[in-house]
Amino acid sequence: MENISEFDLNIALRQWLDRFGQSPQVKFENLNELESHLRDSVVQLQCKGLSSEESFLVATHRVGNPEKLEPEFAKVNRNPRGLVIHGLIFIFFSIVCWFLWGILHFPDMMVTALQGAQLPAFTRLSLGCRSFLAVPPLLALVYCFYVCLRKFHAKSSWMGFFASTTAVLIFITLPTIIAVLLPMIEFMNLQLMRK
Amino acid sequence: MIPKELVAASTVPLVLSVLTEGESYGYALIQRVRELSGGKIEWTEGMLYPVLHWMEREDMIESEWREADTGRKRKYYRLRKEGRKALKEEKEHWLSVHTTLAKLWKTSPSSI
């Protein structure tokens, strides 16, 4: 007859780690490290002649009660410095986006200077996309909230956030400059033609 | 068995001291301390990791995930300059306590 209660170390480990990882304060990395520890411990105990199940029970007992471990992990996983840096990057990013949104109003003022001539197509396209400038700061805000609550892998993930926001800013700033410069060039051309 | 308060207080200097022997990972650190103390220092094994992570944040140690000979990944910890400095201070503190107690017990051994 098949033994349905046969012990499966992998399943038991997964269940133990799942129970421990329920707390949002425990990072995935913490779980990986504890799994590595438990596996080392189980192998060692098996070498001493214990069965898989016995080794697992002894190993998890030695690691400690998950309910008591969680607050200790939570304490150290709270990283106020990282959150402050995220906040500062978010504020800087939002201000620059707002500034670019303001700059994109400049071509509107040039319409009168161009004396009826149409704005360049790229500028018109950029003006049409102006309201989309609110999207990157909103996404950044959502990400910041996610950072506050999530279980994250990297220890200094603000670097990734900084790199992403900088890349987005470059991606937005270049077309904005072109969109503003084009009507200016047009205006200068008009002036030159008139002379 | 050493009381848990004393075990907790000695965790940081113990980890720093073991890491002066070379890089190591959580399970091996625990085994080394158990072996050196003759089983008198028993950590609640899981409690070591928050301490290691705190030490890492304080720049005393650094870590790296690497594949071990077993094929599984392990997180290895290494001592940093800040850690050596902290260990020097810890040594001074623990030696002061040790010297004081040794002097006291030497003068009145019957009272122990």
Reported as a single tens digit per residue, the pLDDT across B23-45 is: 999 999 999 999 999 999 989 99
Which candidate from B28, B46, B53 shows the least CB-CB separation from A69? B46
CA angle A37, B15, A158 (to 5 degrees): 75
| Residue B16 reports pLDDT greater than 60 | yes
Number of domains in chain B: 1
| Pairs from A114-118 (Cβ < 8 Å, separation ≥ 24) | A114/A183, A114/A186, A114/A187, A114/A190, A115/A190, A117/A186, A117/A190
Does A19 contact chain B (CB < 8 Å)?
no
Q: Is B112 a member of any domain?
A: no
DSSP state of B21: T
Whole-complex ipTM: 0.88
Does A34 contact chain B (CB < 8 Å)?
yes
Which candidate from B46, B57, B72 shows the least CB-CB separation from A34? B46
Residue in chain B lying closest to A68 (CA): B47
CATH code at B89? 1.10.10.10
Does B26 contact chain A (CB < 8 Å)?
yes
Which candidate from A41, A77, A155 shows the least CB-CB separation from B27? A41
Instruction: Supply the pLDDT for residue A3.
Output: 46
Buried b (16+ CB within 10 A) or exposed e, A49-85: ebebeebbbbbbebbbebeebbebbeebbebeebeeb
Q: Is B42 a member of any domain?
A: yes
A76 with B53: Cβ contact below 8 A: yes
The mean of the pLDDT values for chain B is: 91
B74 with A39: Cβ contact below 8 A: no
Q: Is B38 a member of any domain?
A: yes
Does A23 contact chain B (CB < 8 Å)?
no
pLDDT tens by residue, B36-74: 999 999 899 999 999 999 999 888 999 999 998 888 899
Map tokens 């890349």 to a residue.
A167
| Residue A107 reports pLDDT greater than 50 | yes
Instruction: Supply the pLDDT for residue A154.
Output: 45
Residue spans of the domains in chain A: they are 9-77, 80-194
| Residue A151 reports pLDDT greater than 80 | no
Model-level pTM? 0.64
| Residue A2 reports pLDDT greater than 50 | no
Residues of B in contact with A44 (CB under 8 A): 31
> Looking at chain A, which runs of residues are DSSP E strands?
none
* Residue of A155, A4, A191, A14 lying closest to A81 (CA atoms): A155
DSSP state of A64: -
Q: Is B90 a member of any domain?
A: yes
* Residue of A75, A59, A60 lying closest to B50 (CA atoms): A75
Contact residues for A100 (Cβ-Cβ < 8 A; gap 6+): A133, A172, A173, A176
Q: Which of A33, A61, A65, A77 to mutate against chain B (most B CBs within 10 Å)?
A: A33
DSSP state of B63: E
| Residue A189 reports pLDDT greater than 60 | yes
Which residue type sits at A160? G
